[in-house]
Structure 1
Amino acid sequence: MGNEASKPKSGTNFQVIGAGMPHTGTAALASALRILLEGPIYHGGTQIAKGNPRDILLWTRLLRRFPPRTQTDRRNSFDTLSDLLDGYAGTADQPAALFVPELLELYPDAIVICTVRNPESWERSMRSVSRKSALWSVGLGLILLPLPGLRHFVAYANCLRRCFVYMYEEGESLTTHTYRRHIEWLKEVVPEHRLFFVNVREGWIPLCDALGMDVPDVPFPAIDDEEAMRRVSKETIMRALKIWTLVIATILCAMTAYRWFNR
C-alpha cells in the first residue's frame, strides 16, 4: 500500500496495467508510475483503505461474478472497471490484477507491468500476512462497522480469497505455487510485446525501459509493501476505534442523563 489514495484526474490517459501480486513492490511501482506518467495511479490496497468508500462495493460486486462468464457479466465488468479507473493513468496491486484480460481489451494501448521478487521470500511474506489476518478475522467486521466502505471489508476479502482459489487453487496461505501460476497466467493472456516483468529493487532502469522513457533525476521510491500495509491497517483500525469510543461515550452520557432525570 502507498501512503495516500490518488484522486482521479479528468482526461488522464490510461497507460499501465500493474499486474504484480501483493507484496512484490506494488506500492513502489505505483509511486514510480505517478512520477513517470505524471498522473494518478490506482493502487488497489490504498484506494480501498483510503479512497472513495463506494469502490469496495464495486470491486466486491465484480469479484462475486468472477470470472465473467456471460455476455451480461462481461458488459457489467467493462462498465464497472471503466467507472472505477476513469481518470487514472494506471493500476497496481489487487484486485485489478485479476482483470488483466478485461483491462487489455478496455485499454488496447496499455502495457502490462508485473512486479516480481524471489518466490520463496514472497511466500514467507504472505505466510506472515495470513497469520495476522487470522488473529483479526473474528472481530474485524465489528471494528470496521463505523467506517463507510470499509465496513464491507470482510465480505470483500472473502470474495477476493474465493477468486484466488479459482485462479491459483490457494486462498488462505499462498505459496510459491500461486506466485508461479500467476506468472504463467500472465504469459498466457498477455501478448508478449505488451508484458514486462520488473523488480523494483533494480530501480528506475527496468521500468523506464518498459515505458520507453528517460530515467528521472529523482530517487526511486523506497516503499516496503508489508510495512506500508501494516501502517495503513493500524491507521484504519485506530480511526474506527476512535469512532467507537465516541459512540460508547455518547451512549453512556445519554444513559447517565436518563437516570438523573428519572431518579
Structure 2
Amino acid sequence: MALRVIAAGLGRNATLSIKFALEALGFGPCHHMTEVFADEQRQVPLWLEAAAGRPDWDVIFEGFGSTSDYPSATFWREIVEYYPNAKIVLTTRDPDRWFDSVSQTIFSPWMQDAHAGTAAHALMQATMFGPIAGNVSDRAFLTDWYVRRNRAVLDGIAAQRLLHFDVQDGWHPLCQFLDVPVPDLPFPRTNSRAQLGRASGAAGVVSSDPQARERFARLYIELMRDQAFAAVE
C-alpha cells in the first residue's frame, strides 16, 4: 500500500487529530509516533536505520495509507519524493505557542527522563532532537527553526499537492482537497497538553518492558480516538 496522504506538520501541530481525521476519511491506517510506540520492537529499528540514511519506506509504512507526526515529519522531503502521488497536508501554529507546547510535553525534560533507557528515547534523539541540531530550550532559536522549517515545506512542494490546513476550519477544506465527502462526524479534537500529561504520568513511570510499552501505546490510541470523536465540534 502506497501512502496517499502525508501530513507534514511537526509534533504538537494537531497531528493526532489529523491521524484520526484521515482514518475517518478512508486514508488509514495513519502512521504516527503513537503507532511507532505501539509496535516499537519492529518500528524503532527501521526508523533508526532511516535516521542513519538507510530508509526502507515500503517496510516502514507497510499497511498504512497515510502518515502524520514524528518521525515521518522529520523526513518529509524524502517521503514526499518517494510517494509522488501522495497529497501533502501541513498543519502549523503560532511559533511561540508551539514552543510553549513542545517545551511542556514532547521536548520536556520530564518526558525525556521518563523514556530514558528505552528504545523510544533513542528514537526521539535520532529523529526529533538530532535534526534540530540546537538548544531546544532556547525560544528564539527554536521558534526561528520552526518558521524556517515550515517555510521550506511550503516552498518545496508544488501548490497542487499541498494544503496548508488549520484544524479549526474543520472538515470542509480537508475534504475538498482530498476530494472526499464530508463525514457526519465532529472533527476530531484531541491531544491537549493535559491529556498527554495524564497519559504519560510523571518522569520515571515508563515501563522497561517493550511489550508493556506497546500495550500502553495501543490503549492510548484508542482512548484518544474515543475522546476525539466524543467532543463537540
TM-score, with normalisation over the residues of structure 1?
0.69
Q: Secondary structure at the match of 2:88?
A: strand
**CA separation of 1:54 and 1:203: change in aligned 2, threshold 3 A:** same
Greater helix proportion:
1
Deviation at 1:136, TM superposition (A): 5.3
SS at match of 2:45: helix
Alignment of 1:210-225 (within 5 A): 210-225=177-192
**Is it true that 1:201 corresponds to 2:189 in the alignment?**
no
| Alignment match, 1:70 | none
Q: Which runs of 5+ in 2 are unaligned?
A: 211-233
* The one of 39, 49, 63 aligned to 2:28: 39
SS at match of 1:193: helix
**Which residue among 92, 105, 109 is the counterpart of 1:134?**
109
2:8 maps to a residue whose letter is: A
Corresponding residue for 1:23? 12
Aligned to 2:86: 110
Structure-1 separation of matches of 2:69 and 2:192? 10
Alpha-carbon distance in structure 2 between the residues aligned to 1:38 and 1:24: 19
Aligned partners of 1:21 and 1:93 also within 8 Å: yes
Aligned: 1:186 with 2:186:
no
Aligned to 1:58: 46
CA distance in 2, matches of 1:181, 1:37: 32
Shift of 1:178: 2.2
Distance 1:212 1:238, change over 3 A: same
Partner of residue 177, structure 1: 144
Amino acid at match of 2:87: I
User: CA separation in 1, counterparts of 2:23 and 2:71?
Assistant: 19
**Would the aligned equivalents of 1:24 and 1:116 in 2 still touch at CA under 8 Å?**
yes
**What's the offset of the Cα at 1:138?**
5.1
1:146 alignment partner in structure 2: none
**Secondary structure at 1:17's aligned position in 2?**
strand
Q: Aligned equivalents of 1:193 and 1:125: distance in 2?
A: 31
What is the root-mean-square deviation of aligned Cα atoms in Å?
Answer: 2.7
State yes or no: 1:162 paired with 2:139.
Answer: no
- Compare 173-182 and 52-61 and name the one that shifted more: 173-182
Q: Give unpaired runs (5+ residues) of structure 1.
A: 1-11, 66-75, 143-150, 244-263
Q: Decide whether the 8 Å contact of 2:4 with 2:27 is kept in 1.
A: no
The one of 51, 62, 69 aligned to 1:93: 69
Q: Which amino acid aligns with 1:221?
A: P
Go from structure 1 to structure 2 and tell me whether the alpha carbon gap of 1:134 and 1:215 turns closer, same or farther (over 3 Å shift): same
Give 1:137 shift: 4.1
Measure how far apart 1:236 and its partner are. 11
| Counterpart contact for 1:20–1:26, Cα < 8 Å | yes
Return closer, same or farther for 1:84/1:123 CA change in 2, 3 Å cut-off: same
TM-score, length-scaled by structure 2? 0.77
- CA radius of gyration, larger in: 1
Does the Cα contact within 8 Å between 2:29 and 2:65 map onto a contact in 1?
Answer: yes
The C-alpha deviation readout for 1:97-142, integer Å capped at 9, x for no partner, is 12222222321110110112222211211222377x3245457424
The alignment partner of 1:221 has SS state of coil
Report Cα offsets for 1:161-191 as digits up to 9, x if no partner: 11122xxx55455632122112111123211
